[in-house]
Structure 1
Amino acid sequence: MAIPAETFFLRPDNETSLQQQIQRLIVEAILSGRCLPGEKMPSSRKLAEHLGVARITVTIAYTELVSNEYLVSKGRSGYFVSQTAPSRPKFNLPDQADKTQVDWARTIGQRFSEHVPLVRPDNWRDYKYPFIYGQSDARLFDHHNWRNCALKAVGRKDFDTLATDYYERDDPMLVEFILRQILPRRAITARPEEILITMGAQHALWITAQILLTQRRTAAIENPCYPGLRQILSQTRCNTVSVDVDAAGLPPENLPETLDVVFTTPSHHCPTNATMPVSRRERLLDLAARKGFIIVEDDYEFEISFLKSPSPALKSLDPTGSVIYVGSFSKSLFPGLRLGYLVASEPFIREARALRSLVLRHPPGLIQRTAAYFLSLGHYDAQIARMGRIYRKRRSIMEQSLHENGLTQTGQGTFGGSSFWMRAPNSADSSKLAMKLRQDGVLIEAGRAFFPKAKSSPDTTASPILPLPRPGFPTAFRTSPRGSKKQSRRMLFHG
């Protein structure tokens, strides 16, 4: 029996290649049982005409399916579904209505979904002006050399490295180049035993909080701060104290007397972009040495110091080993990479490695080795330099636009960074503003998640973030807190 070409349809919004889409359509039809072993496939000409694609595209897809034993080619007779094609197991499942209904409201022991998320539409890329915080501009990334590094990583020479389970270890090549090329940028020296690779900075912060904090301990965080950190700390059930930042970041003199851990973003405070001066860093380190608390340094966006040379990391100034350093490649490469690292004293890294192994053995070997090649071959340094030049130009355009439109910048961002922290009019409700702007194709993010959740006042005002603009894009907002007038007048701009 011949399978009609009309069996298959392409989705217009699919991001994969036409060849891959056709392969997937046929594979799904075979696995679902709609196309049975021995049945004849539509000719490449008929399927190409029906789908509106080139005939060679269908032929290549068919050839790939033959190599994977989904199809067989019978000379001039055409292509047929293979008798040995993979199939899904079939089960005689009971009617869903017969299943016991679980009262999940009572069954769930801990809740993780009650924080204020940074919500964005799934189709945010389709907006005319999608100003979304934390996303990369694909035009700035070195796709060619990253692809070459990925191909090198999957080559025969490295296959044993990729296929082997490292257990608790990390790719030694990546660790070596972090030691030799990344940490020296921050004036940090370390040994391999003092580094742990993580699935991004948030994973590193979670590991750190789990090890350092209990219900009886106190952690200080910046206000406003990265929303994910606040949620991480809430799950440890520690006593969390929010300390308001100023134009120079976290003020050490405002920290509580009783304290176990301080979380800070001194290079570029998230979200205001304030940079902590060296004198304040030294006061914070002195305070930590005298009072015996640990500092967790999230070195957020240190690579994006394109206006001035970055200040030395807290970790590099630490004489006592009280600083745990968190780094990430999310901003310098791309967010979807999800690759970061922890640098700390060996006893802490030993515990962090053991904790990580309970959740995942190690980040994927392919990702680690690809990043290692990208670093070692000099592509990373070239990427940072290129981003710095372009971001400097975009920042100048943004500052001029803000000034011409009478908008007030609150966060200084004197070292660079990827965003602006703005002040909105007292009467502005940034959440409502964000929804209104969507109607004009402008997508901005509500920023109240950067602040602690108000216990009494309803969700009302907040402040936005504007990213540095892409060519042809205007600025956008992200809203912040609610409650106080001070919070209601701030906003953050990214790009």
Structure 2
Amino acid sequence: MRSSDHELMWQQLLAKPAHNAAPLQVQLRTALVNAILDGRLPVGLRLPSGRELAQLAGVSRNTAVLVYDRLVADGYLDARPRDGYFVCGAIERAQVARVSTQGLPEPPDWNERGRLRQGEMRWLDRPAGWRSFRYPFVFGQFDPKLFPLSDWRECSRQALEVAAVESWGQDGEGSDSALLVDQLIRRVLPRRGIAATPDQILLTLGTQHGLFLLAELFARPGMIVGVENPGYMDARNIFARHEARVLPLPVDENGVEMSAPLAQCDYVYCTPSHQCPTGVTMSTDRRVALLEHAARHDQVIFEDDYDPETQYIGQPLPALKAIDKGDRVIYLSSLSKLLSPGLRLGYIVAPAPVISRLRVLRRLMIRQAPGNNQLTAALFIQQGHYDRLLHRTRATLSERAGVLTEALACHIPDAQFRLPHGGSSVWMRLPGRPDPAALRAACIAQGVLFDPGAPFFHDAMTEPYIRLGFSSIPLERIEPGIRELGRLVVAHTRRAAKSALRQ
């Protein structure tokens, strides 16, 4: 019989298994390995029997024995016949010599040394733990319930076969997955009307990575980059970080306007498919006019097709790149919005000489993109899972968009917004003059989260705009969430009106 102190020690080492986390074998193995490597289970210590370990850890005896056997095979334990399991010293913790730091100088002032002035940039920050919010109207997230995990897992298993690992596991010196590039050319880009060859495509860690590479290649101090206003704040931040002059370009119901500032630009960044953040689709006439303007003024267009395939009302227009006959459009897009943002799968389509230079810059930055995710994504597309997911996502977003707009019309009838024809967000002007920051704080306190409008503007926001995303919120929570938002909007609008009267 073991003492109560001994049992208490093991219960502290072996926390009760979490049944909604990793498999029980993995949890138990991890607990034992960590205890051994941390020195809490010293070399030579005799461990409980398989039956005792099962009782202490709250798992079956078979699970406990399987974990012991695996740890013996891996060199963490010794199995001694008729004597039990003992901590083995074959795998030791890394040790370094101790060096006295007494008398060493103070560290440098990193704020003075760093060139990045973070206070000058606008961000779209979300509170910690936002995923637990009851009503998360946030953009750019995915719904795990829509993701075909079993299909992705099977493609991932295929990507981990010996021949596949030998291909992507080596240092490829900047090479991309030929299969993924081929699938982009055959199956993804044609939906946007784009024809490309392998030497015109570079894989990136998402669109933002692509923008940083383009800024690294093209941006110079004083060079003028036009960015939509309101527009994607990180495009603005990235070009400003490279000392370019960012010029705000107004947006109307047809996309970026053909305004006087446009003629001053060396480069133009725009989001024609679903303008960020308004959701406006650039008209055909405006696309043609923009391309003609670029040719006339010797400009290059960076087309961010960040949400290209989620049109659920009407027929999607071809990308700017598809109708560009003068090779003035550099196209950026991503698989991440449909699959999962965390996979970081993006790409650039550009003339071959540009891609060749971008490949060099990418190699300096990350050497090469992770080959396992590239191959898994390629197999996912090749085997038809991507198309099926796309069809399901369109239907889901269309349904959620309908419920959202109906709820807005019911609970915030004076709000101004466009009925979305695609994408996964609504850009909305709030009624009255509520304080957007105070409203957002009150909403967060009630579990309602939306994206504030201010970070999308080049200068101060003069009208109270917010963006409501619906890609990750469950359908049944949309109406109650908008109802709660409407209640808070009314309260803060009244508060603002009273404050105005007192002044």
TM-score when normalising by structure 2: 0.88
Structure 1: which amino acid aligns with 2:10? A
Q: 1:8 aligns with which of 13, 31, 35?
A: 13
Distance 1:463 1:62, change over 3 A: farther
Q: Cα offset for 1:187?
A: 0.8
* CA deviations over 1:260-282 (Å, ceiling 9, x no partner): 10000000011111100111100
Contact 1:274-1:413 at 8 Å conserved across structures: no
Residue number in structure 1 paired with 2:308:
302
Q: How many residues align?
A: 475
Q: Cα offset for 1:123?
A: 2.0
Q: Cα offset for 1:56?
A: 3.9
Distance in 1 (alpha carbons) for counterparts of 2:80 and 2:170: 40
Q: 2:474 aligns with which of 463, 470, 494?
A: 470
Q: Cα offset for 1:95?
A: 5.0
Shifted more, 223-232 versus 106-115: the winner is 106-115
Contact 1:225-1:270 at 8 Å conserved across structures: yes
Contact 1:266-1:298 at 8 Å conserved across structures: yes
Does residue 127 in structure 1 map to residue 133 in structure 2?
yes
Q: After the TM superposition, which residues 184-199 of structure 1 pair with which residues of structure 2 at under 5 Å, given as runs? A: 184-199=190-205
Q: Cα offset for 1:302?
A: 1.2
Distance 1:65 1:362, change over 3 A: same
Distance in 2 (alpha carbons) for counterparts of 1:113 and 1:413: 35
Shifted more, 200-209 versus 110-119: the winner is 110-119
Q: Cα offset for 1:50?
A: 3.6
Does residue 359 in structure 1 map to residue 365 in structure 2?
yes
Distance in 1 (alpha carbons) for counterparts of 2:225 and 2:88: 62
SS of the equivalent of 1:37 reads coil
Distance in 2 (alpha carbons) for counterparts of 1:242 and 1:20: 53
Q: Cα offset for 1:25?
A: 2.2
Structure 2: which amino acid aligns with 1:435? A
Q: Which fold has the larger relative contact order, with Cα–Cα distance below 8 Å and residues 6 or more apart in sequence?
A: 2
Contact 2:429-2:463 at 8 Å conserved across structures: no
Q: 1:94 aligns with which of 83, 95, 100?
A: 100
Q: After the TM superposition, which residues 72-221 of structure 1 pair with which residues of structure 2 at under 5 Å, given as runs? A: 72-94=78-100, 100-112=106-118, 114-221=120-227
Residue number in structure 2 paired with 1:491:
none
Does residue 402 in structure 1 map to residue 404 in structure 2?
no
**RMSD, matched Cα:** 2.6
Residue number in structure 2 paired with 1:349:
355
Q: After the TM superposition, which residues 330-479 of structure 1 pair with which residues of structure 2 at under 5 Å, given as runs? A: 330-408=336-414, 410-412=416-418, 414-454=420-460, 462-468=464-470, 469-474=473-478, 475=481
* CA deviations over 1:81-129 (Å, ceiling 9, x no partner): 1220241223314358956232222222333465233222332222222
Distance 1:86 1:394, change over 3 A: same
Task: Structure 1: state its 5+ residue gaps.
Answer: 478-484, 489-495
Structure 2: which amino acid aligns with 1:472? E
Structure 2: which amino acid aligns with 1:142? P
**Comparing both structures, which one devotes a greater share of its residues to helix?**
2
Distance in 1 (alpha carbons) for counterparts of 2:127 and 2:81: 49
Distance 1:246 1:45, change over 3 A: farther
- Of the two, which has the highest radius of gyration? 2
SS of the equivalent of 1:444 reads strand
Task: Structure 2: state its 5+ residue gaps.
Answer: 486-492, 497-503
Distance in 2 (alpha carbons) for counterparts of 1:50 and 1:418: 48
SS of the equivalent of 2:301 reads strand
Residue number in structure 2 paired with 1:481:
none
Distance in 1 (alpha carbons) for counterparts of 2:452 and 2:16: 32
Distance in 1 (alpha carbons) for counterparts of 2:135 and 2:162: 44
Q: 1:252 aligns with which of 258, 268, 271?
A: 258
Distance 1:140 1:104, change over 3 A: same
SS of the equivalent of 2:403 reads helix
Q: Cα offset for 1:461?
A: 7.6
Does residue 271 in structure 1 map to residue 259 in structure 2?
no
Indicate the percent of aligned positions where both proteins have the same amino acid.
Answer: 35
Shifted more, 27-36 versus 368-377: the winner is 27-36
* CA deviations over 1:343-395 (Å, ceiling 9, x no partner): 00011111111110101122101011101100111111111001111111111
